[in-house]
A = this chain, B = another copy of it.
């Protein structure tokens, strides 16, 4: 399905998604139009889902990075999920998981104060364990 050249292309686009098709072509020993055609196919097949940027959240004012393990006491998760949705400025991911906990919440905060408020908020719906990411 995917050949060596496709992998090289994905690798280059991962490193720099704004590379020109001409330069991408050179890197993978193809002409610009050929590289472009490959990329379009990768998009169509859904292998490339998105072109995006990595933002330095600390410089954006969100230096506190945390993982919160959620243990829902109530079988109805909706109140928790609604609350999370309302607090989405802090939430990076909310994974439903199998294992000990029910959800794994990755989030970012401007300060510990706001983290504290957030945790106070969710404790109305669920119990949790907190891990702060150090690096």
Interface size classification for chain A: 35 or more
CB 8 Å contact bits of A37-81 with B (1 = contact, 0 = none): 000000001111111111110011000000100000000000000
Task: Answer whether residue A132 sits at the interface, using C-beta atoms and an 8 A cutoff.
Answer: yes
Q: Chain B residues with Cβ under 8 A from A59's Cβ?
A: 45-47
Copies in the complex: 2
Asked whether A56 lies within 8 Å of B52 as measured between CB atoms, the reply is: no
Task: Answer whether residue A15 sits at the interface, using C-beta atoms and an 8 A cutoff.
Answer: yes
Task: Answer whether residue A129 sits at the interface, using C-beta atoms and an 8 A cutoff.
Answer: yes
Q: Given the complex of chains A and B, what is the CA–CA distance between A53 and B48 in angstroms? A: 7
Q: Chain B residues with Cβ under 8 A from A14's Cβ?
A: 52-53, 55
A2-43: which residues lie under 8 A (CB-CB) from chain B? 2, 10, 13-18
Asked whether A131 lies within 8 Å of B99 as measured between CB atoms, the reply is: yes
Asked whether B52 lies within 8 Å of A15 as measured between CB atoms, the reply is: yes
Taking A133-B104, A134-B97 as contacts, is the C-beta distance between A52 and B54 under 8 angstroms? yes
Contact of A49 (CB < 8 Å), options: B56, B96, B97: B56
Point out residues on A near B: beta carbons under 8 Å: 2, 10, 13-18, 45-56, 59-60, 67, 95-101, 104, 129-135
14 contacts between A and B (CB under 8 A): A10-B60, A15-B52, A16-B52, A17-B18, A17-B53, A18-B18, A47-B56, A48-B53, A49-B53, A49-B56, A50-B53, A52-B54, A67-B104, A96-B134
